[in-house]
């Protein structure tokens, strides 16, 4: 009788082509965010990625295609992180029957996850810089990011807010409130240097991010308490 095996299905290792492609995307994300699209040459991108300059045309068709790939990288990265806290961004349902307490807890979790990534993770700085460039000078890359991340994440949070407070998800007040919740987290990344100087911090790591998360979630708690008082 043969013995059962515990063999695991081997994961496919990244090919040299896959690794080159990924390196080029990360290099483009960094340099486009730092220097702008027009201020970055394909030669600089290839040097940053330690790749042959011809690989940009081979993998992406050119510099514009590489910018689109960098935007897609942002979408996939943030979708994965947001999905852990607030569910599938691509399938929000208006008919979700939510327990208000559970919805409030989900809002707190969402803010904590945002802080953990946006504020504490080094790669978030590259993403934010790239997005800020796109917001200042919109291109088709911003359309990809808006459609893939901004709009569905915001809409999903608005639905959770409705479940938590009873306020209509698509009301002007709800949409603005959700923007303020997201905005306060983003500030700690774009204002990172000012925050460190004022707080006397040498950097912002996990310990500092925990303190920021506490302040941000305290703000959320105060907003929810005010809404509850108005209804009572």
Given a cut of 90, whether residue 110 has pLDDT beyond it is: yes
134-145 core/surface letters (b: 16 or more CB in 10 A; e: else): beeeeeebbebb
Determine the 3-state secondary structure of 146 from DSSP.
helix
pLDDT at 227 (0 to 100)? 84
Residue 198 sits at φ, ψ, to 5 deg, of -70, -35
DSSP state of 5: P
Rounded mean pLDDT, 86-90:
69
Cβ atoms of 209 and 107 within 8 Å: the answer is no
- Predicted TM-score (pTM) of the model is 0.85
Rounded to the nearest 10 degrees, the angle between the axes of helix 63-86 and helix 100-114 is 140
Flag whether pLDDT at 93 surpasses 60: no
Residues 147, 148, 153: CA angle, nearest 5 degrees: 95
User: What's the burial of 203, exposed, middle or buried (CB within 10 Å: 0-12/13-18/19+)?
Assistant: exposed
Task: Please write down the HEC assignment for all residues of 161-220.
Answer: HHHHHCCCCCCHHHHHHHHHHHHHHHHHHHCHHHHHHHHCCCCCCHHHHHHHHHHHHHHH
pLDDT of residue 175 exceeding 70, the answer is yes
Asked if pLDDT for residue 193 goes beyond 60, the answer is: yes
Residue 94: per-residue pLDDT: 46
Residue 164 — pLDDT band, cuts 50, 70, 90? very high
The answer to which of 43-47, 71-75, 121-125, 129-133 has the lowest mean pLDDT is: 121-125
Sign of CA dihedral 192, 29, 157, 177: positive
């Amino acid at each position: 009788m043969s013995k059962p095996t515990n063999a695991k299905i081997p994961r496919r290792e990244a090919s040299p082509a896959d690794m080159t492609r990924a390196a080029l995307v990360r290099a483009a994300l960094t340099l486009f965010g730092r220097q702008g699209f027009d201020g970055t040459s394909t030669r600089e991108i290839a040097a940053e990625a330690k790749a042959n300059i011809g690989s940009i045309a081979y993998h992406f068709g050119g510099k514009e295609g590489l910018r689109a790939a960098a935007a897609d990288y942002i979408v996939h990265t943030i979708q994965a992180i947001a999905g852990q806290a607030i569910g599938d961004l691509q399938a929000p349902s208006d008919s979700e029957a939510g327990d208000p307490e559970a919805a409030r807890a989900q809002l707190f979790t969402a803010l904590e996850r945002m802080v953990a990534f946006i504020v504490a993770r080094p790669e978030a700085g590259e993403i934010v810089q790239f997005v800020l460039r796109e917001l200042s000078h919109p291109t088709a890359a911003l359309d990809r990011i808006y459609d893939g991340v901004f709009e569905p994440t915001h809409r999903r949070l608005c639905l959770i807010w409705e479940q938590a407070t009873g306020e209509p998800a698509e009301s002007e007040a709800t949409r603005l409130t959700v923007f303020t919740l997201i905005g306060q987290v983003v500030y700690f990344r774009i204002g990172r240097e000012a925050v460190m100087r004022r707080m006397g911090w040498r950097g912002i790591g996990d310990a500092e991010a925990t303190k920021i998360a506490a302040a941000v979630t305290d703000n959320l708690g105060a907003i929810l308490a005010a809404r509850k008082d108005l209804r009572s």
